[in-house]
Structure 1
C-alpha cells in the first residue's frame, strides 16, 4: 500500500524536463565525498520539509504536529506549487544549514571596516549567499587620509578588491558569488562608478546600480547643476549637471545594460519598518532592499499550477471575440478559471515555511542573525506568470493581463499578511512591530516585517518547469546543444500542449518557429500552409516572447506587481537592438513617474557587442579615462584603445572591420587546457566564413579569462577585417605556456594554442555546419558560450544572465 508521499512521487516524477534533471543533479541533490549523488528528488524535498517543519517545536508543537506540517510542506514542493530559494533546497537538513539567498553588509569609511567586510563577504559566498553593498560612505578618490597623510583610492578601486575576493571563493561548490554595488548619485566619484563597467572584463562579479535621489531627479528635469557631497565631512565638493549625469547613466545602460537605478528615497519612504534604520543597499538583483546585516529568505509560488481544467474544448472564434472586449467586461470570466482556494492554501503554507526558515537558519555572522531575527523579513514571490497567461489565453502585452496581475498579487499579498498576523498572534510579532506600518494599519500582530518580494527564479523555475518570475517567454522553441555534435529542439510546453490539444502540431510548424523565433508577425509572414488564418491570428497574439513586447509593457507589468509587493520586483525591461538611447531614458522616467523602486534594462545584443567594443582613440574625457592613483596621470587601457582601422602594408589601403549583424549563428567547441575547460564559440557570416569568436575558460576567471577574452577580441577584429583565417591559425598554434595539457598529437600548449586549434577544427568540419542566411534566427545567444556548460543558449532576464541548457546564473 503506497503512502501519500509515494503517490505524490509517482505524479511528480514525470514532470521533469531534461534541463530540470541537469540542474538538480549538478546543484541540488546531495553528494558524498566522491561526488556521487546519494539522494533522489523526492528525498531532497523530504529532507527540506522535515528540517524546516522542526522549527514548530520551538513554539509548543508536538512531534506529531511537526510531521503534519512536514507533509504540508512536502505536498506543496512535490506538486511544484511552491519552492523556496536555492540555498534552502541545497542546505536544509545538511551540515551547512545556511538557508538565505542574499545579505546586505554595511561598509564604513575605514580600512578596518572595508577589509572586515571583505572577510565577511567571503564567509557568506562560501555558504552560498549573495551580497549587496552601498559604497556611498567611502571617501572619494584622491581625498585626504589623515592617518597616513596619503590619498584615498575611492569606492571603485575597493569594488575591484571585492570583485577579486569573490572570484577566489567557490560558493559551496554549488553557487557562484554574486554582488550588488550601489553608489549614491551625489557621491563625488559617481561618474567613475557609472562608467566602471564600460570594460566588461572589469567587475564581472558585480551588478551595479545608482541610488537616485528625489533631489537629483528634480535637478535633472530642470537641466540644473546639483551638489556632490563628500561623505567624510558632508561638505559639498563640486557641482555636476544633473541632466548630463543622467544621460551618462542612460548611455551606459544602452551599451551594456548597467548600471541599473534604484530610487533610494522612495525605498525609504515606503519602508514598512522605518524605525529599524535607513536602507542604503539591496541584494544582488535589486528586488530586496535590506538594512545592514539583514538576510533575505525567499520563495516563489508557481502560478501556472492554479488554472482550472477546461471541460468544453477550445473555440478559436470565441477566444478572439473575448480578447476584443474591454478588460472590465471579461475580467470575471478569466478570474473564475483561477483556483483561488488552492492558491490561498499555498500562500498560507509558504508563509509558515519561510517563517520557519528564519529560525532554522545557520547564519554566517552573529550580527546577521540578530538583525534578521529582529525584523523577520520574508519575501514570498511568484514564477510562472507567463505560463498562467498562456493557459488562460491572455496576451502578455494587454490591459487585461495587467488587471490579472493586480488581482493575483493583491490576493497573495493580502493572504500573506493574514497568515503572518496569525503567526504573530501565536508566536509573537517581530521585534520592531511597534511603530511599523502594520501597527498603523490596524494589524493586531505581525510575525514578519515584510512578506512579499518578486525575486529571480532562474534555477528553481527550471526545476518547476515554469516560466521565470514575471518575465514573458524568452523563446517559443530553440535548439539545445548537447554533447559534441547533437542538438535537441526545446519547445515551450504551453505551446506544445496547445498545438497537440487542438490537433495543430506538426514537425513543419515547429521547424518554422525554430527558424523564425515566432509564428510570423502577420499571416503572410507566417506558415500560411500550416495554420488557418483565424488560428494564426490567435496564436500570434498569445504566444509571444520578450522580443515581441514593447518596453512600455514590461514597465507596466512591473508596476502592476509592485503595487502589491512590500519589497521590490526583479524584472528586466527588454529592448530590441535598434533601440535608441532616448528610448531607455523614457523608460527610466516612466519607472520614476509610476512609483517603481528600481529598474533594469537590457538592449538585445548589447553585451555581446560590448565584448567586441573598440574604444574611441580620440575620447579624452576626464570622466572616463583611467588615472594613476599615485600621480594622477592617464593610464593606457589597451582593450579600449584598439584602433578601428588596420593598416595593410602591401597595398597601403585602410581596412575597416565589417559591421556586426544584430543576430548571428555559430558553433561552440570544447577543449581542455592547463587552465581548465575552454569553450570557443565561432560565429559565421552569411557566406559561412568565420566572422568572430568568443572564448570562455570555464569557471577559472581571473588572468586566464582576461587573456582568452583579449585573444578573442583581437582574432575577431582580424576576422572582421578580412585577414585570412589560416594566417590567424598559424599565428596562434604552437604558442606555449608553463602548464600544457595532454600528450602527443593531442597536446594543448596554451590557451592561445587551443583557440587556434579550435578555429582550425571549425574549418575542417565546416562542410557539416548548416548555416541559415536569416540573421533573425537563434536570437538566444547573448554573449558567447555559457561559462559552466559551454552551451550557447544564454538569456538576460530578471537582471541576470541565465543558461537555458544547464541553469547557470551569473546572479548565483
Structure 2
C-alpha cells in the first residue's frame, strides 16, 4: 500500500503555488499548525470517503466492488487534475467535520426571533466552512411600526450590518473568512438605501449585494413609468419612484465599485426546477440560485487537460467519461455530507442539487488558437458546455435508474416533462478561485487578464505565471525566475528591459 502511495505521489504534477495553497488551507495539520499529510494523502482521503457513498445503495460484495471501482475513478480524475471538487470537499472529506458543501441559502423572517435564528445559523455554517446567501426582502422597511413594542423597525440594511459583523469574527471552517450574498427586491421601500450601502466601501464588506429585479420593474424602465415601492408586511405602497431613475442608481453603483449586482428574480423562478420551493436568494458569487435551506455542491472539469496536440481538438470521449464520473462523485457528496442544520439536510437530500462546471477555458482557447471574445470563441463555449450539460444529465438519468429519482421529484419541472433524473440541477459555472490553482489552470471561464500577475490567495501573495507563456519563454531562450517575477509585477513583458 505504501509503495502504491509513493508511486502515485511521484506522478502528481502540482505547481509551487498549488502546493503552497494546499499546505496553507487544505492539508491536515497538527496542534502546531504543521501539515501532517501530503497532497497525495488528501486525494486518497477524499476519493475513499466519497466512494463510501456507494455503500448507501448496495450491500455486500456488490457494494464493495462498486466502492473500489469508484474510489479508483474518483482518485484518477483528481490526480490527473481533470476534475476538482469544491474546497470544503477537499478540506473536510474523511475528517471529523465532514461538511462538504460550498454554499447555502438561509431565510430571513420578519421577526426578531427569525432574524437572530438565522444569524446563529449563519455562524454555524461559516464555522463549518460554507458561505451563505440571504434574501432580506421579507423584512419590514425602516421606521415601520413594530406592533409588539410600538417601536419602529431599523430596516434590512441595519440587520445586514449585524450579519456582516458576525462574519468578521468567524473564519469559514477555521481557514478563511466567511462570504455572504445579500439580496433585496427592487420593490422594497429601502431599496435605495440598499443600493448605496456599499458606496463608500466602509461597511458590509463581507457581503456581495444584488438587487432582485422583477419583470414589472424592467417594463416600467422600458416604458419610462413610475414604479411603486411596497411594504412587504402588508403590501402598502410606501413610495413611488421613476423606474429609470432607480435603475440609473443601480447602474452607477455597479460602475463605481461593482455593487450592487442584479438578479432577475422572476426569470430565475420561471426556470426554477423545483417550483414548489421558491427562490429568493443566491450563493455568495451568485452562480447557484437556491431556495431556503438548500446547498450547492460543486466541482469543475479542467478543460485544458482534454486538449490533444496531435488532433488540435479536445478528446471528447475522455471528456464524456470524466463528466459521468464527476456527476457520480457529486451525487455521492450529497450522501456523505454532514450538513450543518437539519433543515439543510432535508432540503439538500430532497433536491440533490449539484453543479459541475468548467475551468481552464482560457487555457484551452489559447491552445486551439481561438480568440476569447470572437464569434468562434462563443461557438466553442456553447459547444463544450452543451456537451458537458448533455452528458451530465445523461448520468443523472443513469443514477435515477440505479438509485431512484430525487425525493422532491414530485412537483418538479422534471416530473412535468417526464424526465426521471436524480438531481434538480447538474451544472454550474463557479469562479474556481483556489481549485483552479490546485489544478494549475485558468479560473472558471474567465479570460487571462495578464500573462503573469501577483496573486493574493489564502492570505498569501505569490507570482502566478501562465504555463503557456513559460513554455514559450523556455523554447525561445528568454526564461529566468527573475524575469517571471518582473512580468508578474507588470502583467506583461512590455517595457521590461531584458
TM-score, scaled to structure 2 = 0.94
Distance in 1 between residues matched to 2:28 and 2:463, nearest whole Å? 30
Distance in 2 between residues matched to 1:165 and 1:18, nearest whole Å? 34
**Superposed CA offset, 1:241-287 (max 9, x none):** 1111111111111111111111111101111222x221000000111
Distance in 1 between residues matched to 2:486 and 2:334, nearest whole Å? 49
Residue 472 of structure 2 corresponds to: 498
- CA separation of 1:454 and 1:173: change in aligned 2, threshold 3 A: same
Residue 372 of structure 1 corresponds to: 348
Residue 139 of structure 1 corresponds to: 140
- CA separation of 1:78 and 1:257: change in aligned 2, threshold 3 A: same
126-135 vs 244-253, greater mean Cα deviation: 244-253
- How far 1:166 sits from its partner (Å)? 1.1
- How far 1:34 sits from its partner (Å)? 2.5
Distance in 1 between residues matched to 2:7 and 2:256, nearest whole Å? 52
Residue 33 of structure 2 corresponds to: 35
2:453–2:490 contact (8 Å) kept in structure 1: no
- How far 1:481 sits from its partner (Å)? 9.9
Distance in 1 between residues matched to 2:413 and 2:473, nearest whole Å? 49
Does the residue aligned with 2:445 lie in a helix, a strand or coil?
coil
Q: Please say if 1:122 is aligned against 2:123.
A: yes
Q: Please say if 1:432 is aligned against 2:396.
A: no
Aligned counterpart for 2:20 among listed residues 19, 22, 26: 22
Residue 550 of structure 1 corresponds to: none
Distance in 1 between residues matched to 2:427 and 2:386, nearest whole Å? 10
Distance in 1 between residues matched to 2:166 and 2:488, nearest whole Å? 41
Distance in 2 between residues matched to 1:435 and 1:144, nearest whole Å? 38
2:228–2:239 contact (8 Å) kept in structure 1: yes
- CA separation of 1:478 and 1:205: change in aligned 2, threshold 3 A: closer
Q: Please say if 1:473 is aligned against 2:448.
A: yes
Distance in 1 between residues matched to 2:428 and 2:254, nearest whole Å? 24
For 1:573-612, what aligned pairs fall within 5 Å after superposition? none
Residue 381 of structure 2 corresponds to: 405
For 1:647-658, what aligned pairs fall within 5 Å after superposition? none
Residue 226 of structure 2 corresponds to: 225
**Superposed CA offset, 1:335-367 (max 9, x none):** xx1011111111011100000000111111100
Q: Please say if 1:416 is aligned against 2:392.
A: yes
1:496–1:505 contact (8 Å) kept in structure 2: no
- CA separation of 1:57 and 1:511: change in aligned 2, threshold 3 A: closer
Residue 292 of structure 1 corresponds to: 292
- How far 1:511 sits from its partner (Å)? 8.8
1:103–1:296 contact (8 Å) kept in structure 2: yes
Q: Please say if 1:384 is aligned against 2:360.
A: yes
- CA separation of 1:509 and 1:401: change in aligned 2, threshold 3 A: farther
Residue 104 of structure 2 corresponds to: 103
Structure with the larger helix share: 2
Distance in 2 between residues matched to 1:215 and 1:87, nearest whole Å? 39
Does the residue aligned with 1:280 lie in a helix, a strand or coil?
strand
- How far 1:231 sits from its partner (Å)? 0.4
**Superposed CA offset, 1:516-573 (max 9, x none):** 63466xxxxx89x99xxxxxxxxxxxxxxxxxxxxxxxxxxxxxxxxxxxxxxxxxxx
Give the CA RMSD over aligned residues. 2.3
- How far 1:394 sits from its partner (Å)? 1.2
1:133–1:182 contact (8 Å) kept in structure 2: yes
- How far 1:3 sits from its partner (Å)? 6.6
Distance in 2 between residues matched to 1:45 and 1:8, nearest whole Å? 10
Residue 94 of structure 2 corresponds to: 93
- How far 1:438 sits from its partner (Å)? 2.7
- CA separation of 1:139 and 1:488: change in aligned 2, threshold 3 A: closer
Distance in 2 between residues matched to 1:354 and 1:481, nearest whole Å? 29
- CA separation of 1:3 and 1:393: change in aligned 2, threshold 3 A: farther
- How far 1:506 sits from its partner (Å)? 5.0
Residue 209 of structure 2 corresponds to: 208
2:371–2:377 contact (8 Å) kept in structure 1: yes
- How far 1:489 sits from its partner (Å)? 6.0
Residue 360 of structure 1 corresponds to: 336
Gaps of 5+ in 1: 312-333, 521-525, 531-812
Distance in 2 between residues matched to 1:221 and 1:215, nearest whole Å? 10
- How far 1:513 sits from its partner (Å)? 5.4
Distance in 1 between residues matched to 2:383 and 2:411, nearest whole Å? 29
- How far 1:7 sits from its partner (Å)? 3.9
- How far 1:376 sits from its partner (Å)? 0.5
Gaps of 5+ in 2: none
1:8–1:79 contact (8 Å) kept in structure 2: no
Does the residue aligned with 2:379 lie in a helix, a strand or coil?
helix
- How far 1:98 sits from its partner (Å)? 0.5
279-288 vs 427-436, greater mean Cα deviation: 427-436
Q: Please say if 1:463 is aligned against 2:438.
A: yes
2:454–2:489 contact (8 Å) kept in structure 1: no
Distance in 2 between residues matched to 1:99 and 1:518, nearest whole Å? 38
Distance in 1 between residues matched to 2:38 and 2:177, nearest whole Å? 24
Asked which structure has the greater CA Rg, the reply is 1
- How far 1:65 sits from its partner (Å)? 2.3
1:8–1:75 contact (8 Å) kept in structure 2: no
Q: Please say if 1:339 is aligned against 2:315.
A: yes
For 1:739-758, what aligned pairs fall within 5 Å after superposition? none
Q: Please say if 1:255 is aligned against 2:256.
A: yes
Residue 425 of structure 2 corresponds to: 450
Q: Please say if 1:517 is aligned against 2:491.
A: yes
Q: Please say if 1:277 is aligned against 2:282.
A: no
Q: Please say if 1:351 is aligned against 2:327.
A: yes
- CA separation of 1:516 and 1:164: change in aligned 2, threshold 3 A: closer
- How far 1:165 sits from its partner (Å)? 1.1
- CA separation of 1:363 and 1:515: change in aligned 2, threshold 3 A: closer
Distance in 2 between residues matched to 1:514 and 1:82, nearest whole Å? 27
- How far 1:432 sits from its partner (Å)? 2.3
1:300–1:382 contact (8 Å) kept in structure 2: yes
1:272–1:438 contact (8 Å) kept in structure 2: yes
Distance in 1 between residues matched to 2:454 and 2:298, nearest whole Å? 32
The count of aligned residue pairs is: 491
Does the residue aligned with 1:297 lie in a helix, a strand or coil?
strand
